[in-house]
């Protein structure tokens, strides 16, 4: 009887992806001399090279300030005049986000949390300001653990909440090349809305899985597989792409 071994499946997937982009998977004895490869730019570059339609459109959920710990801004700087919608619920970080992207045309911004309802949601963050504001979550426990603070000491404030379908309708989004979500605790909900609640199937999906429990992550992989995606683990995130037809 075969048993499900997620580590073996993940390893095979990584080997397959690296081979597709011309890399070889080898065992390194001295890990101190190695560093992780950032594969997202490689995948995006390959996607752009084989894309038949002009332009590139992205949606980023949880864009923070558009600078710190951001996988998207280096890509925008490298590949040029992308268009897209950037979503950030924390008003403090949202203001910085718009400022940091002020020189870029073709971008739209939404100060809201992506939830499974339209209305208002509670966002939990630090009252200290500074670097600690990089982490905010609609999940009090996630914010408490991430900030190493008691839940009772967290700051909380009401923010706009929108469903993904509402966001897409508001910004007239019909096709997405790159979809990124990093919401500190609600990425499973975002992925479920994307794959079950909308008709849009992005060319590339990049989502944070580290905070998901095993059942949520397994469900994400199931939904992606049902929609024809292959997945690759990238540290705390997962990259999903559709195989290119030769």
More confident residue, 202 or 10: 202
Q: Which residues touch 94 (CB under 8 Å, ≥6 apart)?
A: 88, 109, 111
Residue-range domains of the chain with CATH: 39-241 (3.40.50.150)
Q: Which residues touch 195 (CB under 8 Å, ≥6 apart)?
A: 201, 223, 224, 226, 227
pLDDT score recorded for residue 120: 96
**Least confident stretch, 1-5, 131-135, 147-151, 230-234:** 1-5
Q: Which residues touch 101 (CB under 8 Å, ≥6 apart)?
A: 66, 73, 86, 107, 109
pLDDT score recorded for residue 1: 47
Cβ–Cβ under 8 Å, residues 199 and 169: no
C-alpha distance from residue 123 to each of 32, 142, 161, 195, 213 (Å): 39, 11, 10, 25, 21
- Give the three-state DSSP class for 175: coil
pLDDT score recorded for residue 34: 45
Distance CA 2, CA 75 (A): 41
pLDDT score recorded for residue 198: 95
Other Cβ atoms closer than 10 A to 1: 2
Statement: residue 140 has pLDDT above 80:
no
pLDDT score recorded for residue 27: 60
Q: State which of 7-11, 20-24, 47-51 shows the largest mean pLDDT.
A: 47-51
Strand partners, 159: 121
Statement: residue 224 has pLDDT above 80:
yes
| Tokens at 167, concatenated | 């966001």
More confident residue, 220 or 37: 220
Statement: residue 196 has pLDDT above 70:
yes
Strand partners, 238: 207, 233
C-alpha distance from residue 175 to each of 41, 49, 190 (Å): 20, 18, 17
Distance CA 211, CA 109 (A): 25
**Least confident stretch, 55-69, 123-137, 169-183:** 123-137
More confident residue, 146 or 41: 41
Average pLDDT, stretch 77-98? 92
More confident residue, 153 or 98: 98
Q: Which residues touch 158 (CB under 8 Å, ≥6 apart)?
A: 120, 121, 122, 123
pLDDT score recorded for residue 23: 63
The 8-class DSSP code of residue 82 comes to -
């Amino acid at each position: 009887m075969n048993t499900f071994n997620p580590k073996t499946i993940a390893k095979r997937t990584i080997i397959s992806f690296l081979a597709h982009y011309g890399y070889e998977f080898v065992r390194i004895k001295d890990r101190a001399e190695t560093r992780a490869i950032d594969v997202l730019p490689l995948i995006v570059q390959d996607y752009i090279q084989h894309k038949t339609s002009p332009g590139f459109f992205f949606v980023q959920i949880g864009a923070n300030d558009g600078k710190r710990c951001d996988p998207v801004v280096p890509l925008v700087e490298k590949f040029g005049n992308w268009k897209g919608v950037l979503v950030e619920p924390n008003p403090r970080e949202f203001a910085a986000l718009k400022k940091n992207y002020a020189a870029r045309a073709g971008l739209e911004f939404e100060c809201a949390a992506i939830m499974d309802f339209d209305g208002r949601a509670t966002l939990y963050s630090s009252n200290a300001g500074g670097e600690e504001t990089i982490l905010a979550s609609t999940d009090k426990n996630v914010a408490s653990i991430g900030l190493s603070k008691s839940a009772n000491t967290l700051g909380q404030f009401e923010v706009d909440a929108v469903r993904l379908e509402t966001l897409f309708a508001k910004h007239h989004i019909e096709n997405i090349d790159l979809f990124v979500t990093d919401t500190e605790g609600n990425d499973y909900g975002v992925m479920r809305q994307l794959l079950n609640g909308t008709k849009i199937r992005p060319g590339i999906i990049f989502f944070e899985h580290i905070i998901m429990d095993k059942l949520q992550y397994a469900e994400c992989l199931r939904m992606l597989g049902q929609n024809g995606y292959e997945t690759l683990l990238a540290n705390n995130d997962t990259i999903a792409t559709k195989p290119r037809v030769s």
